Structure 1
Amino acid sequence: MKIDNVCGVCNSFNETENHLFFRYEISHVFWFCSPLHLNSHVLEGSDFLESWSKFCAQVKDRDNADEIRQDFAFGLWRLWKNRNEVVFNVIHRQPLEILEAWTKSITEYRVSMARDSAEYSPRLSKTIKDTGNTCGKWQKPRYGIIKINTDTAWCKSTMRMGVGWLGRDFARLFQVAGGSGIGFCHSAAAAKALAIREALLACIDHGFDDIVIESDAKMIILMLKKEVVTDFSIECILGDIEVLAQKLRSVSFAFVPREGNRAAYSVAKYAFKEGRSFTWDCIGPDFLFNFLAKDVNIFFRL
């Protein structure tokens, strides 16, 4: 190989090395100067998942952890966009320019989400509301309303889940119940949301137009009511729930403590164990009797 070729290879290598170093320093300055004030050196991992886990561990106890994770995700996306500009268009931007673009993207996204919420508000103000049930026991709904309790049984190691739901009327009479134990889910929160979605689908199939859906997943209920920032990992499921809610005349979502949701959990647990799907109309399964009896203060047990 000629000496000039060797020098050309060396120069090319040095340019690549300098380019990578420049990109690394840009990333570090970007995170450090951002509103998150992150030290990217601390977040370094062998791969993305390890770095993401380190970041989530740092913010998990913050009150606005979901919003911080959202900001971080937008920052990663902005750095990737900047990388593509450097590689494909040879455009080098300064950290402050990238920060401005990042802030603009976040602002536009949240304004858009707020606008969407405002567009839905006439309908959602009627259909998605809090019933105010804060006591531990199951409470009967108003006349003409079917109350649907939902819950899930989820295994973290296998990610397998069972969802369950059951409906009772204002007279506390059992109307319908169902469950499925054939699904898989990445988190307990997503499984709780899927249980609500399955319950809504069942209500549409059974022709229930005026319903209350209860769940012991308080954060999911708050997300549906737009009182907290939506977790991006389950926003698709929550979006499905909102769309399904529009197909019914009246839908209320409410939090219920676990003590008042034991009947739904028993259905989810049964579906999880059997690994099949079930639906019961009017006459429920034997294993449900004791839970339903306890909810209405009947002391007789099977």
Structure 2
Amino acid sequence: MVFQGIQIHPSDASGMMVEQVGEYNEAVIPKAPLVAELPRPPDQAALVQAVWEKPRHGFVKANCDGAWLVQTNTGGFGWVIRDFVGWMMQAGGQGDLRYGSALAAEVDAIRAVLIACEQGGFARVMVESDSLIAIQMVKGERLVDAEVDGLIFDIQAMTREFQEMIFIHAPRSCNQAAHEVASFVSRNGGIHHWDLIR
């Protein structure tokens, strides 16, 4: 094949075309953000930025967050467990999961952090999530959506395995570490676990 006086082998020409199509697609097709990364309206309580607070003495605080991409119905969850002095003990998450909604990802994140707490041998746990609806459903303050009914049942059954369990809703600014883990595993896929106490 001759192009503008230069002889090009057909396999090189097809490789260049594929490369150009890839560059075009990257330039034209915007990368869709995860639902968890979209801007949210400010919290109703105040415009003052809240910060993460240590749990009570003898407790661990387990922050969790779900991530969901509406265009593909895929996502994942991330969680971080810290002790009562604020020291990070464990973190983990999983990507490549299919969910029908952001709520399903958030509830699955709560279930996953309870499993991690149970496996870690933590008896007194404060679970913190930035999903008010998920926390209300777990606490029995809101009617459970049929899509997450099985997950809520599991969570409520698991809570009986702990000496003390407290569920807390927190603004996203208090859940930043779990949010970062959820975003990472959702983009990279797979199962991840970081154990900092062993």
- Fold-level match, TM-score > 0.5? yes
Q: Which amino acid aligns with 1:281?
A: D
Q: Which amino acid aligns with 1:243?
A: A
- Name the TM-score, length of structure 2 as normaliser: 0.73
* 2:91 corresponds to 1:164: no
Aligned to 1:276: 190
Aligned to 1:246: 160
Question: Identity of paired residues, percent?
Answer: 37
The structure 1 residue matched to 2:134, chosen from 207, 211, 220, is: 220
Cα displacement string for residues 16-70 of structure 1 (whole angstroms, at most 9, x for unaligned residues): xxxxxxxxxxxxxxxxxxxxxxxxxxxxxxxxxxxxxxxxxxxxxxxxxxxxxxx
Within-5 A mapping of 1:1-302: 136-282=50-196
Give distance in 1, aligned partners of 2:88 and 2:163: 21
Q: Which structure 2 segments of 5+ residues have no match? A: 1-48
Higher relative contact order (CA 8 A, sep 6+): 2
Specify which structure has the higher proportion of strand.
2
Structure 1 runs (4+) deviating above 2 angstroms are: none
User: What secondary structure, in the 3-state scheme, does the structure 1 residue paired with 2:126 have?
Assistant: strand
RMSD: 1.5
Give distance in 1, aligned partners of 2:196 and 2:124: 18
Give distance in 1, aligned partners of 2:69 and 2:115: 24
Higher-Rg member (1/2): 1
User: What secondary structure, in the 3-state scheme, does the structure 2 residue paired with 1:177 have?
Assistant: strand
Q: Which structure 1 segments of 5+ residues have no match? A: 1-134, 284-302
Aligned to 1:29: none
Give distance in 2, aligned partners of 1:179 and 1:146: 18
Aligned-pair CA distance for 1:254: 0.5
Give distance in 2, aligned partners of 1:181 and 1:260: 22
Give distance in 2, aligned partners of 1:229 and 1:244: 19
Give distance in 2, aligned partners of 1:166 and 1:172: 11
Aligned-pair CA distance for 1:220: 1.1
- Name the TM-score, length of structure 1 as normaliser: 0.48
